[in-house]
Structure 1
Amino acid sequence: MNTTASAQPVSGDRLTLDEGAIDAARKSLDDGALTPSYGPWRDDIVKLLNDALATELVCVLRYKRHYFTANGVSSPAIADEFLVHANEESAHADRIAERIVQLGGEPDFSPATLLARSHASYDESENLQAMVRANLVAERIAVETYRQMIVLIGDKDPTTRRMLEDILSDEEEHADELKDWLGH
Structure 2
Amino acid sequence: MAKDYTNDSSFLTDVKTLRARARKQIEDGALTPGYELDPDQVIHLLNTALATELVCVLRYRQHAVTASGIHSEPIAAEFLVHSNEELAHADLLAKRIVQLGGTPEMDPAGLSERSHAEYVACDSIDKMIRENLVAERVAIESYREMIRFFGDKDSTTRAMLEGILAMEEAHADELADLLE
What is the TM-score normalised by the length of structure 1? 0.87
> 1:136 offset after TM fit, Å?
0.2
Structure 1 pair 128–38 and aligned structure 2 pair: CA distance change class (3 A) = same
Q: Structure 1, residues 9-33: CA drift from partner, whole Å, max 9, x if none?
A: xxxxx96124598353332212222
SS at match of 2:35: helix
| Residue number among 70, 83, 95 corresponding to 1:86 in the alignment | 83
For residues 23 and 164 of structure 2, the distance between their equivalents in structure 1, rounded to whole angstroms, comes to 32
- Which protein is bigger by CA-based radius of gyration? 2
Q: Structure 1, residues 125-154: CA drift from partner, whole Å, max 9, x if none?
A: 011000000000000000000000000011
Note the aligned Cα RMSD (angstroms).
1.6
**One-letter amino acid of the structure 2 residue matched with residue 159 of structure 1:** T
Q: Match for residue 92 of structure 2?
A: 95
| Contact preservation (8 Å) 2:37, 2:153 | no
For residues 95 and 15 of structure 1, the distance between their equivalents in structure 2, rounded to whole angstroms, comes to 36
Say whether 1:125 aligns with 2:122.
yes
For residues 35 and 107 of structure 2, the distance between their equivalents in structure 1, rounded to whole angstroms, comes to 26
Q: Match for residue 50 of structure 1?
A: 47
Matches within 5 A, 1:1-184: 16-18=11-13, 22=18, 23-183=20-180
For residues 61 and 90 of structure 2, the distance between their equivalents in structure 1, rounded to whole angstroms, comes to 15
Residues matched between the structures, number? 170
Structure 2 residue runs without a partner (length 5+): 1-8
| Contact preservation (8 Å) 1:140, 1:175 | yes
For residues 23 and 143 of structure 2, the distance between their equivalents in structure 1, rounded to whole angstroms, comes to 33
For residues 44 and 145 of structure 2, the distance between their equivalents in structure 1, rounded to whole angstroms, comes to 14
Q: Structure 1, residues 67-126: CA drift from partner, whole Å, max 9, x if none?
A: 000011221000000000000000000000000000001100011110000000001101
